[in-house]
Amino acid sequence: MQKYEELLVSLRKVTRAIGLYSKKLSKESGLTSPQLIVLKEIDQHKGCMVKDIAQSINLSSATVTSILDRLEARSYVIRERSLTDKRRVGLHLTELGKTVVKDAPRPLQAHFIDRFEKLEEWEQTQLVSTMQRIASMMDAENLDAAPLLEVGALQDMTTPE
């Protein structure tokens, strides 16, 4: 087997583990990982737009819209059309949404996080930088299409309307 295939396989295992955990989480807490992550983003950046969320967590707007549909249907989130710019949609948590996000488990295997945090500092750094290196080796062609916004890098957009 080619080395790059081995890399692919383990990558696939990781994404699968994440997906399986999302399903498990969904059964226990009623929320999938993407739903939880979106909720957290809204919580941290009250009033932010759909596009902000999409960029900060590396999803397309279309995907975020469909996740928001479900979150809104369950009354965790409110969409509020801006008055000054009617294209924009401000996102807010309901009281229920705030409770849910507060009580929600962490968005990845607790096991993984625990283990990760038990590693030496330099080992953690090494894992992260290797992962980032692989990422950069893969998407360099599309870098311009995907602005390098990171989770948590959004400005607070409280009441921009």
Query: Would you tell me which residues interact with DNA (CB under 7 A)?
Result: 16, 19-20, 22-23, 26-27, 32-35, 49-52, 58-70, 79, 84-89
Q: How many CA atoms lie within 13 A of 93 on its CB side?
A: 20
Distances from the Cα of 131 to the Cα of 11, 22, 112, angstroms? 10, 21, 15
Provide the minimum distance between the beta carbon of 124 and a second copy in the complex, in angstroms, as a whole number.
Answer: 5
- Residues 6 or more apart whose CB falls under 8 angstroms from that of 154 comprise 41, 44, 45, 48, 52, 56
- Is 51 among the residues that bind a second copy (CB under 8 A)? no
Provide the minimum distance between the beta carbon of 125 and DNA in the complex, in angstroms, as a whole number.
Answer: 26
Residue from the set 95, 120, 141, 144 that interacts with a second copy by CB under 8 A? 141
By CB under 8 A, the residues from 1 to 30 that bind a second copy are 1, 3-18, 20
- Nearest CA among 147, 161, 158, 159 for reference residue 45: 158
Cβ proximity to a second copy: between 117 and 144 the closer is 117
Provide the minimum distance between the beta carbon of 114 and DNA in the complex, in angstroms, as a whole number.
Answer: 22
- Nearest CA among 161, 33, 158 for reference residue 92: 158
Query: Which span (54-62, 65-73, 77-85, 86-94) binds a second copy, by CB under 8 A?
Result: 54-62
CB 38 within 8 A of CB 48: no
Cβ proximity to a second copy: between 40 and 88 the closer is 40
Largest CA distance in the chain: 58
The amino acid present at 127, given as its one-letter code, is L
Chain residues in the site for a second copy (CB under 8 A): 1, 3-18, 20, 57-59, 107-109, 111-113, 115-117, 124-128, 130-135, 137-142, 146, 150-152
